[in-house]
Amino acid sequence: MKKNIVIGLFSAMALVPALAGAADQDPTYSREVSRIIQDNCQICHQPGQIGPMSFTTYEEVLPWAPLIRMRVLDREMPPYHYDRDIGVQELQNDWRMSDEDINTLVAWVDAGSPLGNPELLPTPKQYPVIGEWRLADELGPPDHVIKSAKWDVPASGQDLWWNPEVPSGITEERCIKAIETLPSKEAHGSTHHANSQFQVQNADGEWETFGRLSEFAFGKLGEMVPEGACRTAPANSQVKWSIHYYPDGTAVADDQVSIGIWYQDKDFDKETAYDQDLRSYFLRGGDFDIPPHGKLMTQGFHSFDHPVRIDSWQPHMHLRGVAMSMEVFNQETGRRETLSQASNWNAGWNHSHIYEEGFQPLIPAGSTIILTAWYDNTAENPFNPDPDQWVGMGQRTTDEMSHAWIAVTHLDEEGYQEMLKEREQRSVASVGGVQ
């Protein structure tokens, strides 16, 4: 018996180095990296999607391994330009790759990008295709769809704008749960942005703006209205569109942009819900010019006479824009706090940064939202098409813009204090070990 125990002990001790070696072995494509690529890259890097190369197999990924290493280390890919070390970090649909995944990719490339055991490869993943609703995976098909009037998009030329007004087809006032603006598959690359707003008729039969419906720019997924809030879809309304096309080499006849609306359930209590809307908050509402080889910082200030909750923040600039931040000056405390910041702006990706439920910034009445934008019209800006030009505000892609799309829930003092209390209780519970 003692002999068996000794033999078993020596056998177990002999396994320790082997197990340690297995834990310390270099990552392989089949075991770790393929799953990271699936979760972070393949939605764009596959046949028929916008990525310039496909990453669906080891053979496709291998030639690009050094470039992938560089891009993820620089946090250029996946393209989600939101600072990791400042402001609210709890975000929905956050594309930022974790430090653990970045380190794994770097270690894999540094080890020679080994394939590993092919039997460990994951099954292929299915992704939404261009021209299909991306929110449908979570919410099903839209409850209501509104299409713009048809427009012929040429293959080449300068910026084009199409501003039709169409009936909404909404026959009953409802609260919106989610919205997605969807360019056509054929004109996906040339649809620069597509903004929309509701209009209703006044007593004189004239159409007046009711409120913002949606906003699309390339890279944006959609908009989700938080629990307990209502963004109203008015009955018997019409939709006024503002669609900006920038021809990309493909002519599209009779193009239409679509808006999908998902409604709250029929039993949703609108009377107890807070109103929510989407607004465009401008920085320095007047004009500005950026001189050749020059730089610019500009700001905008916006206050409310009632408490509000900020549900999402989406910076918008063009090719000379490099960074934007959103701060709040709290009138009650005299403190200035940064809520969100994007220090590596890229006009090719317009993400709406949607805060997680319970982490949306709460702004007391009388406080001021401060928006700051920075522009670089020098040759150091890799996206600058011509640093020798003066650049002013305007609608063209080569002009500049200076605003942020912000979704705001309008609160009363009672609701504001209740939300503050809930967060204080959660913070105490978390410190005490209760999540």
What is the per-residue pLDDT for 32? 93
What is the tens place of the pLDDT at every residue in 38-53? 999 988 888 877 788 8
Does residue 305 share a domain with residue 341? yes
Rounded Cα–Cα distance for residues 337 and 330 (Å): 8
Closest CA to 91 of 216, 260, 224, 261: 224
pLDDT of 3 over the 60 cut = no
On whether both 309 and 400 belong to a single domain, the answer is: yes
Helices (H) and strands (E) in the chain, counts: 7, 24
Percent of the chain clearing pLDDT 70 (strictly above) = 91
250 touches 187 (CB < 8 A) = yes
Q: Is residue 227 part of a domain?
A: yes
Give the model's pLDDT for residue 433: 41
**Is residue 365 within 8 Å of 330, Cβ to Cβ?**
no
Q: What is the pLDDT of residue 19?
A: 31
Helix/strand/coil for 208 = strand
Q: How confident is the model at residue 281 (pLDDT cuts 50, 70, 90)?
A: confident
| The overall pTM is greater than 0.85 | no
CB atoms within 10 A of CB 22: 8
Q: Is 429 a residue whose pLDDT tops 90?
A: no
Q: Mean per-residue pLDDT for 18-22? A: 33
Q: Kindly state whether residue 3 falls inside one of the protein's structural domains.
A: no
Q: Residue 147 class from Cβ within 10 Å (0-12 exposed, 13-18 middle, 19+ buried)?
A: middle
Lowest mean pLDDT among 16-30, 110-124, 203-217, 340-354: 16-30
Contact 369, 328 (CB under 8 A): yes
286 — pLDDT class (breaks 50, 70, 90):
low
For residue 78, whether the previous peptide bond is cis, meaning omega lies within 30 degrees of 0, is yes
Do 162 and 220 belong to one domain? Answer: yes
Q: Tell me which of 218, 253, 272 is where a domain ends.
A: 272
Residue 426, number of CB atoms within 10 A of its CB = 13
The arithmetic mean of pLDDT across residues 95-120, rounded, is 94
Domain-ending residue, one of 228, 257, 272: 272
pLDDT confidence of 288, banded at 50, 70, 90? confident
Kindly state whether residue 11 falls inside one of the protein's structural domains. Answer: no
Examine residue 130 and state whether it is found in any structural domain, yes or no. no
Does residue 435 have a pLDDT over 70? no
Is the pLDDT score of 368 beyond 80? yes
User: What sign results for the dihedral spanned by CA atoms 61, 62, 67, 73?
Assistant: positive
**6 lies in some domain:** no
Whether residue 100 has pLDDT greater than 90:
yes
**What pLDDT score does 2 carry?**
40
Question: With contact defined as beta carbons under 8 Å apart, do 198 and 239 qualify?
Answer: yes
Q: Poorest-confidence range of 338-347, 364-373, 393-402?
A: 393-402
**DSSP per residue over 171-189, as a string?**
-S-EEEEEEEEE--STTTT
Chain-centroid distance, C-alpha 277: 17
Same domain, yes or no: 233 and 296: no
CATH code of the domain in which 322 resides: 2.60.120.230
**Would residue 271 be called left, alpha or beta, if left means φ above 0 and alpha means ψ between -120 and 50 degrees?**
alpha
Co-location of 155 and 258 in the same domain: yes
pLDDT at position 326 is 96
Q: Are residues 387 and 292 in the same domain?
A: yes
Look up residue 90 and give its DSSP letter. -
Which of 11-25, 139-153, 216-230 is predicted with the least confidence, judged by mean pLDDT? 11-25
> Are 87 and 223 in the same domain?
no
7 is a domain residue: no
Is 143 inside a domain boundary?
no
pLDDT in tens, 254-272: 999 999 999 999 889 888 8
HSE-CB for 181 with a 13 A CA cutoff = 25
> Residues 73, 177: one domain?
no
- The count of domains in the chain is 3
Share of the chain above pLDDT 90, in %: 59
- 68 pLDDT exceeds 80? yes
pLDDT of residue 231: 92
pLDDT tens-digit map of 333-363: 889 999 999 998 888 787 889 999 999 999 9
Q: Which among 264, 428, 274, 431 is positioned nearest to 360, based on CA atoms?
A: 274
Q: Choose one of 272, 290, 316: the last residue of a domain.
A: 272
Instruction: Share the mean pLDDT of the chain.
Output: 87
Same-domain check for residues 61 and 158: no
The verdict on 115 and 49 lying in the same domain is yes
Task: Say if 206 falls within a structural domain.
Answer: yes
- Residues 158-193 have pLDDT tens digits of 889 999 999 999 999 999 999 999 999 888 888 888
For residue 5, give the 3-state DSSP assignment.
Answer: helix
Bridge partners (DSSP) listed for residue 209: 199
Kind plus residue range of the DSSP H or E element containing 321: strand 321-329
Q: What is d(CA 136, CA 139) in angstroms, rounded to the nearest whole number?
A: 5
Same domain, residue pair 306 and 382: yes
Half-sphere exposure of 360 (CA within 13 A, CB side): 27
- Domain around 201: 148-272
What pLDDT is attached to residue 13?
36
Q: What is the pLDDT of residue 309?
A: 95
Res 9: pLDDT: 35
Residue 199 · residue 242 · CB < 8 Å: no
The four Cα atoms 352, 354, 360, 365 give a dihedral, to 10 degrees, of 30
Residue 288 and residue 414 in one domain? yes
Spatial separation of the C-alpha atoms in residues 329 and 325, rounded to whole Å: 13
